[in-house]
Chain A
Amino acid sequence: MKFLCLDCDAQMHFTERRQPGDGTFAAAFTCSRCGRSVALLANPMETQLVDSLGVRIGGRTLDPQPLETTRATVRGRDEAFADDGNGGPGTATAWSREAEDRLARVPGFVRGMVKRIYVDYAADRGIPEITPEVMDRARSELGLEGM
């Protein structure tokens, strides 16, 4: 998928993705010549189709987690996985109390995987403590709003 600025005859560049609610997926593209921005808005059905393919519009910055698409899309049983979500060696990251509370509200079926994604995100960027603000940023940057 590419966006072309017709006035400039130039390819527009991906700048941001969000899932602002009701299943809508939004991706913003900007023309680097004239600065014009456009937003692609996918309806919930289209969003679900793309999510089901296991690909990320705007690209990936972290490796996929095991069973990532299945865990993100299936309504599974809470105790299916023995998954502490602490990430690999060298990913010891602190959690603020507010961030822990928020994580505790994630369904058990997917919680360990979501935790590991936040831990990997923080480790990748040298962030010492995961806070709700870090979680919001990660969700937006990594396209996790559906999880």
Chain B
Amino acid sequence: MRAESSDARGTASIPMISRTYHDVTGPDRSRLGEQVAQQHDRVRRRLAGVRRVIAVMSGKGGVGKSYVTAGLAMGLARAGQAAGVLDADFNGPTTARLLDADPNARLRVDEDGIDPVVARDGVRLMSMTQLLDDGQPLVFRGPGHDSFVWRGAAEAAALREFLADVRWGSLDVLLVDLPPGIQRGLELCDLLERPPNGIAVTIPTLESEAAVRRALRAGLDGGIQMIGVVENMVGSQFPGAAGSTLAREFALPLLARLPFHPGIDLWNDLATRLDISPTHSAPRAPHSAT
């Protein structure tokens, strides 16, 4: 960043700066703080009709977060609940395929917002799949180097706009399918007026257990109100009991143990169990677990 002056003089004549930012009290035309506050307000107003936001998270990739998200969304819809899915895995979106959404559907736009895609069983969906050509990675315009500086901000902006600018309407549940890790979940907490609920997905292995443990701790510290653990891919291929271990350690219910090909009854049962879980339980720190 550089500043150029119309009156270039030697530095010797420049007086010392003794003012702080807050000492200078004239009007700030940019009002960046207000612009950010308006962004938050836009999210709040858009989600006013959404009863519950649930983040589907894991510290581990490949454990089936999107699979669980899609199956759960359809189970909720079959149970008569209005369900939406926000696919926040911008670099590897898969929920559109899992929910049989048309990847080439054109999104209707007007000045108020964008209509989500209506997918299987009436689930409302917004995914990066709808914005990208098939097989194309998420690429941002801009300088072709040093993208580590701004790419995180660009993806956080996409999350904010998917929340604020999609006409979600009245929903009983909005499931947010998070990418591996915890960063997107913390961004979600920052954007929402109330902390979201969370479901942690693991597979039975020790490796998954270790990664999900870290994510659970970070999520709880960040304000996510966890409502349970789902253990996926249960069977002889993956020995271990990560789901029950984590549930016991964090004093959370083990919501489901899903085999490789769960039948519709298991999804319906998971949706039912979710419906009776507390909506706004107080955050629980791992060290208070039994």
Contact = CB atoms under 8 A, between A and B. Distances in A.
Interface of A: 1-4, 6-7, 9-11, 13-14, 23, 36-46, 48-49, 51-60, 63-70, 72-77, 79-83, 87-88, 109, 112-113, 116, 120, 146
Q: Which of B19, B30, B31, B140 has the most CB of A within 10 A?
A: B30
30 contacts: A1-B30, A2-B26, A4-B17, A4-B24, A10-B26, A11-B24, A13-B29, A37-B5, A40-B1, A41-B4, A45-B149, A48-B140, A48-B143, A48-B150, A49-B149, A51-B142, A52-B157, A55-B35, A55-B36, A56-B35, A58-B29, A66-B114, A66-B161, A67-B109, A70-B131, A70-B161, A73-B142, A73-B157, A82-B106, A113-B109
A42 B114 contact: no
Given A48-B150, A109-B131, A120-B111, 18 more contacts: A2-B28, A3-B3, A37-B6, A40-B2, A48-B149, A49-B150, A49-B153, A55-B35, A59-B29, A66-B111, A66-B113, A67-B161, A73-B142, A73-B157, A74-B138, A76-B133, A87-B111, A113-B109
Interface in B183-199: none
Interface string B8-34: 000000110101010011101111100
Interface residues of B, number: 59
Contacts of A120: 111
B202 interface: no
A100 to B, nearest CB: 20
B165 A67 contact: yes
Interface in B23-68: 24-26, 28-32, 35-36, 39, 42
Contacts of B5: 36-38
Nearest to A85: B109
A75 B90 CA distance: 13
A59 B1 CA distance: 19
The 9 A-B residue pairs with the shortest CB-CB distance, nearest first, are A11-B26, A52-B153, A82-B106, A66-B165, A52-B154, A83-B109, A48-B142, A44-B143, A49-B150
B1 A54 contact: no
Contacts of B35: 54-56, 59-60
Contacts of A9: 19
B110 interface: yes
A66 B108 CA distance: 11
B112 interface: yes
Contacts of A109: 131
Interface string B230-254: 0000000000000000000000000
A65 B113 CA distance: 8
Contacts, number: 172
Q: Which of A41, A42, A53, A120 neighbours the largest number of chain B CB atoms within 10 Å of its CB?
A: A53
Interface string B140-168: 11110110011101101110111001000
Contacts of A44: 142-143
A56 B39 CA distance: 12
Contacts of A80: 106-107, 130-132
Contact of B142 (A7, A23, A77): A23
A43 to B, nearest CB: 7
B104 interface: yes
Contact of B21 (A2, A13, A45, A146): A2
A37 B156 CA distance: 35
B265 interface: no
Contacts of B276: none
Contacts of A49: 149-150, 153
A73 B142 CA distance: 7
Contacts of A88: 110-111
Given A39-B3, A81-B106, A69 B161 contact: yes
A15 to B, nearest CB: 9
Contacts of A46: 1
B140 A73 contact: yes
A66 B112 contact: yes
